[in-house]
Structure 1
Amino acid sequence: MDLASLRKGLEQHRQSHLLQFWDDLSSENQKELYDDLSSIDLDRVCQYFGKATTGLSEAQTKSDERLEPVPEKVCGSTSRMSSDEHKQLFDSGLRLIAEGKVAALLLAGGQGTRLGVPYPKGMYNVQLPSGKTLYQLQAERLLKLQELAFKLTNRHGVIPWYIMTSEHTKDKTVKFFQEHSYFGLEADNVIVFEQHMLPCFTFEGQIILAGKHKVARAPDGNGGLYSALGSADVIADMRRRGVECMHAYCVDNILVKMADPVFVGFCHQRSADCGAKVVEKAFPTEAVGVVCQVDGHYEVVEYSEIALKTAELRREDGRLTFNAGNICNHYFTTDFIESIVTEHDSSLQHHVAKKKIPFVSDDGSITTPTTPNGIKMEKFVFDVFQFSKQFAVLEVLREDEFAPLKNGPGAAKDTPATCRSSLLNQHYRWVLAAGGKFMDSEGSVLPLIPARSSSMPHTTDIDCEVSPMASYAGEGLEELCANQVLTAPIQVVPGKIIKPECS
């Protein structure tokens, strides 16, 4: 170990404090700390910090003159398209899947701090009647899509599933899939890779120690995808498989239609190199980023960066002018992604996330702060929109496609309970649309919209769960459900309706 050189480098970057406990460490821990510090490119990460904090002060508000809504010519809407157009796009996407040209790209590197569990979000069970986790629901949706593509084309297309994890989630994710035999998918088609980690900084620019011999690090945001794709040779794997486009999404959305044939077909039809699914903002100040144009380039602008008077602007039809709410649901061609990895990734800006980061106090004890004490530097996956030459936006219904799991039980929104309700209510609507009816225990027909009833006074949910293996998006349920009078709880599985044991 060249401790003198290491110490000199730390001094040059105002990071000498990282060796303050050196003499207290065992030789083994000294080696661990030396290796940890030696792995950090101090020039690079300190530049990241400087640019990110400068950008924070400069980008508090985007001037109204620079913002424009997404042009109508690049937009589509699932709620405003005809059934024939919807089927055409769905079938177009399935044909691409049958040809092996579509991949699913899962962003699953977050630590789930707000959710309050010590394991990856994808392993979470929101207490559905089936007990399925987010990972199982998503795996079965891919299996169903491959089945639908085969039925349409008689070709066995595979949807490779690329899962970006982090240091905190990779091992547990891999083990979970192995223990569950990849939920029926071929192991070779589930490709897990790891995003990079960056040191955490104090607000004054000092790297934080998580322990006497360990630097505090955090994943570099979902925008770390691009450097991770390059270092893990994922692009080469996509090329080998013949993948031409991919659907990227976040792990925590229980309603996500991954590799959605309608979205894929829509973007492919428009020759888009990059696309975004959006939901209509519920109200002007809703805390969601907005897909729009800034200085002629596509961006996602955070709600806090939009002046209230701009956020409240409305069109002639009464809808918000800036209404395209981002749900982290994106389409990329492989060519576009490769150009980002090889040409643009180094120019992407890091953003500041103020966090409560445990640290070592001067007396050597570990302190867990109650208020934010430092920053994690993150890139955002949508920061690449600016490089698109042919952009597409598809508006979808929130109740059909967006119910994120962000917070633990008891929070005001985005909880396991709200996710469970969103999925069960969607499945209830599917069964009704297929011709089924529900009655309560007193023989009264339940309404078309789930509501409280005398037999279910403590919940608005009707326990109706449709397995992804029975239907991907509500299709194919007529044979089982038409003219059926049902009493919850029920589960619709391939070929039958079952009544689970009540707990």
Structure 2
Amino acid sequence: MANYDELITSLQTHGQDHVLQFWDRLNDQERAELANDLASVNFDQVKSEFDTAMSAASMGKLDDFMQPPPAESIGHADSFPPSDQMREWFQAGLAAIAKGTVAALLLAGGQGTRLGSKDPKGMFPLGLPSGKTLYQLQAERLVRLQALAAAQFGGQPVIPWYIMTSDATLEKTRSYFESHHYFGLDKANIFFFKQNVIPSLTPEGKLMLGTKNSLARNPDGNGGLYRALKDFGALADMAARKIEHVHVYCVDNVLVKVANPVFIGFCMSINAPAGALVVPKASPEEKVGVVCQVNGKHQVVEYSEISEKTAHLRNADGALTYAAGNICNHYFTRDFLEICSKRYDELPYHVAHKKIPVANEEGVPETPTSNNGIKLEKFVFDVFRFADKLAILEVTREAAFSPLKNASGAESGTAETCCRDLFNLHRRYLAAAGAKFVVGGQEVCSD
């Protein structure tokens, strides 16, 4: 444990000595825990990152620096039944799976707090007749995709599944998979790891106490992936398996095509180190980030960073100029992930104002009723700026995107809307295969 005099001198130098407010009430073990927690913090780095993030947050709109992505980088996989081009991409992706060079990477750090649950979002009961959860649906899609590759190319293809959790979701996720026998997958091919945490801060950049003897901390955002991949050995595991292509996606999308062969095949076809699956914005006002270029670099620009005028810009054909809605569904080569892990410190932090549980006057954690602090977060798509080429594949919402975001009663993003969208997609599949739908003895339209 650091000497108290040395500790307080260091804290005073950096204007952070308020975190010792409970020191006189702590026992020796608690003092050691707090001192060790503080010793892990680089105060100068925290201040620099905070100042940079706050400065970026105050920059205003990006309209004058934006350009649409180049047309040659955009593909379309929005026809049903699939077009010949989509079938070609699918075959190329499936061949890569058969060779054992494809991995899936799940971002599963979120809890179902907004859904009224403390469990990982992947475990939330959707209300499907089968009782399946997001985790189970995705696992079974991997099982099926491995079987398809084996049937066409032979052998026993394996798609390793890397699952990044948070501190809050790691053990519950691991236990859930174990209790369900990994949903038919081989345990040896599932790699659990977690994102790192960083100190939460006040709006003035001060450290916050989560308890009387520990700092308040928050996950470093899904962009923390690139540091966590290296820190926990996932990149080394990919290298040992000779993985070349990685499909990265968020847990909450009930329609996600895990290790998507069409997407992978498209990115391979234009030799892109990174790719983004997008859906057309539903309207200029839709609150979704758009994939574009900023000062010549690939970037996702959030809706709040674009003026109303730019959001409404349209091309000669009437389509929105900035229409490539980001759905956090990405492709990376393993070589590119290696580059991202080495350049992690170049990625910016973004400011998120949140209700952060902090120690009250008695030193007991207490959640405020309004935003009291700032979480600094990096975003998974921030690495697009490192790519010399970004593959952008446009798909339809009804076939590829229905996220679970909100509790029942909201207009969208609920368990009910997710079930509806999944049912509708499966009805389309069945109808395309020749199935008829009969209700009360009468055949009904499958649309």
Tell me the equivalent position of 1:40.
41
* Residue 365 of structure 1: how far off its partner (Å): 4.7
Tell me the equivalent position of 1:51.
52
Deviation string, structure 1 residues 112-152 (Cα, Å, up to 9, x no partner):
43233111111111010100111111111111111000111
Give the SS at the match of 1:384: helix
- Pick which of 131-140 and 364-373 moved more: 364-373
Alpha-carbon RMSD across the aligned residues, in angstroms, is 1.5
Give the SS at the match of 2:275: strand
Distance in structure 2 (CA, Å) of the matches to 1:135 and 1:68: 37
Give the SS at the match of 1:203: coil
* Residue 80 of structure 1: how far off its partner (Å): 5.2
Gaps of 5+ in 2: none
CA contact (8 A) 1:292 1:299 kept: yes
- Pick which of 360-369 and 256-265 moved more: 360-369
* Residue 425 of structure 1: how far off its partner (Å): 1.4
Q: Residue 443 in 1 paired to residue 444 in 2?
A: no
Distance in structure 2 (CA, Å) of the matches to 1:424 and 1:266: 27
Tell me the equivalent position of 1:120.
120
Tell me the equivalent position of 1:140.
140
CA contact (8 A) 1:45 1:198 kept: no
Q: Closer, same or farther in 2 for the Cα pair 1:214/1:410, shift >3 Å?
A: farther
CA contact (8 A) 1:203 1:375 kept: yes
* Residue 214 of structure 1: how far off its partner (Å): 2.0
Q: Which amino acid aligns with 2:405?
A: K
* Residue 230 of structure 1: how far off its partner (Å): 1.5
CA contact (8 A) 1:110 1:219 kept: no
Distance in structure 1 (CA, Å) of the matches to 2:97 and 2:45: 40
Tell me the equivalent position of 2:9.
8
Distance in structure 2 (CA, Å) of the matches to 1:112 and 1:220: 18
- Pick which of 201-210 and 241-250 moved more: 201-210
Q: Which amino acid aligns with 1:446?
A: V
* Residue 387 of structure 1: how far off its partner (Å): 1.0
| Aligned pairs (5 A) from 1:47-86 | 47-58=48-59, 60-62=60-62, 64-79=63-78, 83-86=83-86
* TM-score normalised by the chain length of structure 2: 0.96
| Aligned pairs (5 A) from 1:44-443 | 44-58=45-59, 60-62=60-62, 64-79=63-78, 83-342=83-342, 344-440=343-439, 442-443=440-441
Distance in structure 2 (CA, Å) of the matches to 1:16 and 1:412: 47
Distance in structure 2 (CA, Å) of the matches to 1:171 and 1:294: 40
* TM-score normalised by the chain length of structure 1: 0.86
Q: Which amino acid aligns with 2:92?
A: S
* Residue 86 of structure 1: how far off its partner (Å): 1.6
Q: Which amino acid aligns with 2:33?
A: E
* Residue 314 of structure 1: how far off its partner (Å): 1.0
Deviation string, structure 1 residues 285-333 (Cα, Å, up to 9, x no partner):
1000000011111100001111111111111221111000000000000
Structure 1 residue runs of 4 or more that deviate by more than 6 Å after TM superposition: none
Q: Which amino acid aligns with 1:35?
A: N
Deviation string, structure 1 residues 477-499 (Cα, Å, up to 9, x no partner):
xxxxxxxxxxxxxxxxxxxxxxx
Deviation string, structure 1 residues 183-223 (Cα, Å, up to 9, x no partner):
11111110011111011111111111111122111110000
* Residue 67 of structure 1: how far off its partner (Å): 1.1
Q: Which amino acid aligns with 1:160?
A: P
Distance in structure 2 (CA, Å) of the matches to 1:74 and 1:390: 8
* Residue 443 of structure 1: how far off its partner (Å): 2.1
Deviation string, structure 1 residues 396-431 (Cα, Å, up to 9, x no partner):
011111111112222332111111111111112211
Distance in structure 2 (CA, Å) of the matches to 1:52 and 1:111: 25
CA contact (8 A) 1:49 1:377 kept: yes
CA contact (8 A) 2:112 2:124 kept: no
- Pick which of 372-381 and 4-13 moved more: 4-13
Tell me the equivalent position of 1:499.
none
Give the SS at the match of 1:255: coil
**Higher RCO structure (Cα 8 Å, ≥6 apart):** 2
Q: Which amino acid aligns with 1:47?
A: S
Deviation string, structure 1 residues 321-372 (Cα, Å, up to 9, x no partner):
1000000000000111101112x21111000011111222335454322221
Gaps of 5+ in 1: 450-503
Give the SS at the match of 1:325: strand
Q: Which amino acid aligns with 1:444?
A: Q
> Sequence identity, in percent?
51
Distance in structure 1 (CA, Å) of the matches to 2:9 and 2:411: 50
Give the SS at the match of 2:442: coil
Q: Which amino acid aligns with 2:397?
A: R
* Residue 376 of structure 1: how far off its partner (Å): 0.6
Q: Which amino acid aligns with 2:157?
A: G
Q: Which amino acid aligns with 1:431?
A: L
Distance in structure 2 (CA, Å) of the matches to 1:366 and 1:158: 45
- Pick which of 359-368 and 21-30 moved more: 359-368
Count how many residue pairs are aligned between Structure 1 and Structure 2: 445
Give the SS at the match of 1:188: helix
Deviation string, structure 1 residues 64-109 (Cα, Å, up to 9, x no partner):
3321111111111112596222211111111100101000011112
Give the SS at the match of 1:105: strand
Distance in structure 2 (CA, Å) of the matches to 1:178 and 1:80: 38
- Pick which of 83-92 and 160-169 moved more: 83-92
Q: Which amino acid aligns with 1:23?
A: D
Give the SS at the match of 1:201: coil
Q: Which amino acid aligns with 2:263?
A: F
Distance in structure 1 (CA, Å) of the matches to 2:276 and 2:364: 46
